[in-house]
Amino acid sequence: MATPIPISPTVKCLALFIAAPASGQGKTTVTAALARLLSRQGKHVRVFKTGPDYLDPQILAQASGHPVEQLDMWMAGEGYCQQKLYEAAQTADIILVEGVMGMFDGDPSSADLASRYNIPMAILMDVKGMAQTAAAVVIGLANFRDDITVAGLIANNCSTERHRELIENALPDSLPLLATLERSDQVALPERHLGLVQADENTDELERRFEAGADWLEAAGAANILERLTAVEFYPEIMPAIAPLLEGVSLGIAKDIAFSFIYESNLRLLREMGAELFFFSPLFDEALPEVDALWFPGGYPELHAKALSENHTIIKHIKAFFEQDKPILAECGGLLYCLQTLTDLEGAQYPMAGLLEGHGTMSGKRGCQGMQTAQLPEGDVRAHAHHRSRCVEAPEPIAYGRRQRHSAPGEAIYRCRQLTASYLHLFFPSNPSAIAELFNASEVHMLEAQASEC
């Protein structure tokens, strides 16, 4: 366990929030490139990602050289986010926070987070096809609320010196043009149907793009942005002590290119509760580690369905584990793997582990996403859903997710013996005791599992 950071009343650290008027403006590309540029200059950079996201943090972690966690005031709580920022500020030279969607989208939004922790925002905007209008949009965004501080504009896809002049001359002195970035195919990050391609799938290519991105920003003078910033004061939050509720429990976690949607916060909590973690690959391993419980997180099983279906040996071990009434949690892609079959994006159907009745089918571009509370028998756990598939012919759910701001039932939650499966991705720190109970194979739970029908 890591040595606790000594608590001081407050700590000051430079901080910058990368926001945008919409998705697709280049937030992750620029945040990753800036993190690499500053790291290359010898600065200790800590990066956070706003909202529930797995793919962007993987990219940002590789770019910065440090783990990247999510900040979401609904999912994690204001105190939790405050403490994470405070801890980062203890050692960082600068904290970067990447926003989500448009800066005012969602509840809480990127602007809400920046306002709550007094972090200045740089508005990143793709200015292709506009000039003075870009200044008008930024002025409107900066003045939409009086509780945020906007440091200025980073103009992406700013093609010429004349283009830059038109935008800069239209901006007031209070909203400087921080940097202008020419279009570059060398820095764009590869994408697929749920977002960016995972970092582990193309590490070398990403390294080339990070370095090119750092050069791109350096040529644009982006490093000078820091000279315009003043240090932000971060305060500690007194958080409840983490009880050793999983002391002596060993947990096997599926982790490979098919299963990788894992919050760093979840892993840290499990370790703090005393669990011993073992990682394994349903794609490549032939046996499970010797553990008391299993966790199949989300990921891209649809891209590896054939290989997963052909690993008969580990499926045999997983079925035996399930039949021993040991705890299993399966989230989203993990749910698809636990079903009888999975039909991939090309329409090919493959047998899966078959722990739960039902069939998974990819549904192309249409999908489901949103914040929900998983109403588990063990207690409510904050969560989110993001998928482009359907689960059909499954058993009757034991519960449904409760949507953040809508009365319609959320994602179905299934339980068969001691398997709990849903499309929901759980944020473990929102209810540590419920998570501990979920993974703890008590005698009472085993008797209940043996008596259950599914």
- Hunting for tokens 């020419």 — which residue is that? 182
pLDDT given at position 4: 52
- Hunting for tokens 């109970």 — which residue is that? 437
Task: Give CA angle at 292 (247, 249), nearest 5°.
Answer: 5
Nearest to 186 by CA among 207, 155, 202: 207
Element (H, E) at 259: strand 259-261
Rounded to the nearest 10°, the torsion over CA 144, 148, 151, 157 is: -50
Tell me, yes or no, whether 207 and 304 share the same domain: no
Length of the chain, in residues: 454
Two tokens, residue 42: 């010898």
Please say if 332 is a catalytic residue: yes
Last residue of a domain, one of 200, 234, 268: 234
* Alpha-carbon span 277 to 271, nearest angstrom: 7
Last residue of a domain, one of 204, 234, 264: 234
* 132, 84 Cβ separation under 8 angstroms: no
Write the CATH number for 221.
3.40.50.300
* Alpha-carbon span 16 to 122, nearest angstrom: 7
pLDDT given at position 226: 86
* Alpha-carbon span 224 to 388, nearest angstrom: 41
The runs of H, that is alpha helices, within 281-377 are 305-310, 312-323, 333-338
Give me the residues paired with residue 156 across strands: 126, 181
Tell me, yes or no, whether 265 and 203 share the same domain: no
pTM for the model: 0.89
- Judge whether 240 lies within some domain: no
* Alpha-carbon span 44 to 41, nearest angstrom: 9
* Alpha-carbon span 260 to 243, nearest angstrom: 27
Tell me, yes or no, whether 224 and 309 share the same domain: no
Mark residue 77 as left, alpha or beta (left: phi above 0; alpha: psi -120 to 50; beta: remaining).
left
pLDDT given at position 406: 80
pLDDT given at position 225: 86
CA atoms within 13 A of residue 399's CA, in its CB half-sphere: 17
Nearest to 70 by CA among 47, 87, 88: 47
- Judge whether 6 lies within some domain: no
Tell me, yes or no, whether 293 and 208 share the same domain: no
User: How does strand 341-343 pair with strand 349-351?
Assistant: antiparallel
Of the residues 81, 332, 338, 416, only one is catalytic, namely: 332
From first to last of its 454 residues, what are the pLDDT tens digits of the chain? 445 555 558 999 999 999 999 999 999 999 999 999 999 999 999 999 998 888 889 899 999 999 999 999 999 999 999 999 999 999 999 999 999 999 999 999 999 999 999 999 999 999 999 999 999 999 999 999 999 999 999 999 998 999 999 999 999 999 999 999 888 777 776 554 444 455 455 677 888 989 999 998 998 888 788 888 999 999 999 889 999 999 999 999 999 999 999 999 999 999 999 999 999 999 999 999 999 999 999 999 999 999 999 999 999 999 999 999 999 999 999 999 999 999 998 999 999 999 999 999 998 665 567 899 999 999 999 999 988 899 999 999 999 999 988 888 899 999 999 999 999 999 999 999 999 999 996 644 555 555 556 6
* Alpha-carbon span 138 to 148, nearest angstrom: 13
For 206-224, b where at least 16 C-beta lie within 10 A, e where not — what string?
beebbbbbbbbbbebebbe
pLDDT given at position 114: 98
Tell me, yes or no, whether 227 and 324 share the same domain: no
* Alpha-carbon span 452 to 449, nearest angstrom: 5
- Judge whether 2 lies within some domain: no
Tell me, yes or no, whether 196 and 264 share the same domain: no
Tell me, yes or no, whether 260 and 197 share the same domain: no
Backbone angles phi, psi at 337, to 5 degrees: -65, -30
Tell me, yes or no, whether 255 and 229 share the same domain: no
Element (H, E) at 194: none
- Judge whether 5 lies within some domain: no
Please return the burial class of 204, using the count of CB atoms within 10 Å of its CB with bins 0-12, 13-18 and 19+: exposed
Tell me, yes or no, whether 225 and 316 share the same domain: no
- Judge whether 245 lies within some domain: no
- SS3 of 286, please? coil
Write the CATH number for 426.
3.40.50.880
* Alpha-carbon span 353 to 319, nearest angstrom: 7
Tell me, yes or no, whether 67 and 123 share the same domain: yes
* Alpha-carbon span 244 to 248, nearest angstrom: 9
Tell me, yes or no, whether 65 and 209 share the same domain: yes
Query: In total, how many domains does the chain have?
Result: 2
Last residue of a domain, one of 203, 234, 265: 234
* 373, 385 Cβ separation under 8 angstroms: no
Give the range of the structural domain holding residue 201, as residue numbers without chain letter: 11-234
